[in-house]
Amino acid sequence: MLRTALALAQRGLAVFPCRERSKLPATEHGFLNASKDAAVIETWWRSNPNYNVAVATGTVSGFFAVDVDDVDAEIELRRLEAANGVLPRTVETITGDGRHIWLAMPNVDLRNSASQLAPGIDIRAAGGYILVPPSVHPTGRRYAWSVDSASSIAAAPAWLVARLVKPKQGSSATPPAEWRELIQGVAEGARDNSVTKLAGYLLRRHVDPFVALALLQSWNASCCSPPLADDDIVRIVNSIAGKEARREAAYGGYG
């Protein structure tokens, strides 16, 4: 496993360990801990040589994966290809119950999705990860490189990217002026809501929860009148971090 993890890192892929025969991360922050640093990688697998090997998908590794779950999903993929064009020959792995098709990460905001493309076909992109050979699936089956696998990752067809990238509906982003108002100071009635908004902004952008907590404690002390109790800041950050972790698990994570 260590040899595989190091080889993938040398190719520019960010890796991290998952538990034995499991898709669950063996590190505290999962894909957020993914690394290309050989020393870090060796430390992980020296502690347990049987850890599965996971690769963080998205820009960090330069590719996303089309996760085809089963035979029914294969039929759906064939229908899509018949209507739009066949996917290019690319790197491909066989999973415990399907396959992962690797495609180069396009220069767009492509995130994880479940059955958005078609029933049974998930996407592992920004904020996700997949297991790679020779990891062991929870069923006991080893992941394997497909006999049809290419030696390099192909570009994603335009039709596929267009179907995966959701068009922005209006402007739901918080206006810059509203963020600037938070720096001017927050009165008693708006403190909880403002902390919640800031915590969500930071954690959705994968800022480490402990860093987010420290930043919000500092902001609270200087910008809230009067400041909230530290316990309240901790409570809000823990709540938002928990929601984000559940969201990632639901939509993102496992391959």
Q: Compute the distance between CA of residue 3 and CA of residue 8 in angstroms, rounded to an integer.
A: 9
pLDDT at 252: 46
The arithmetic mean of pLDDT across residues 234-238, rounded, is 88
The per-residue pLDDT for range 11-47, each reduced to its tens digit, is: 999 999 999 999 999 998 888 899 999 999 999 999 9
Long-range contacts (CB closer than 8 Å, 24 or more residues apart) made by 184-189: 184/223, 185/223, 185/224, 185/225, 186/223, 186/224, 186/225, 187/225, 188/225, 188/226
Highest mean pLDDT pick, 49-63, 114-128, 186-200: 49-63
DSSP 141: P
Q: Compute the distance between CA of residue 45 and CA of residue 135 in angstroms, rounded to an integer.
A: 13
Would you place residue 171 in the very low, low, confident or very high pLDDT band (cuts 50, 70, 90)?
very low
Would you place residue 170 in the very low, low, confident or very high pLDDT band (cuts 50, 70, 90)?
very low
Higher-pLDDT residue of 66 and 243 is 66
Q: Compute the distance between CA of residue 255 and CA of residue 244 in angstroms, rounded to an integer.
A: 19
What is this structure's pTM?
A: 0.67
Per the listing, tokens 């987010």 go with: 212
The arithmetic mean of pLDDT across residues 182-200, rounded, is 80
Angle between helix axes 191-204 and 209-223 (nearest 10 degrees) is 150
The per-residue pLDDT for range 81-130, each reduced to its tens digit, is: 999 999 999 999 999 889 999 999 998 888 888 888 888 899 999 888 99
Q: Which percentage of the chain shows pLDDT scores above 90?
A: 51
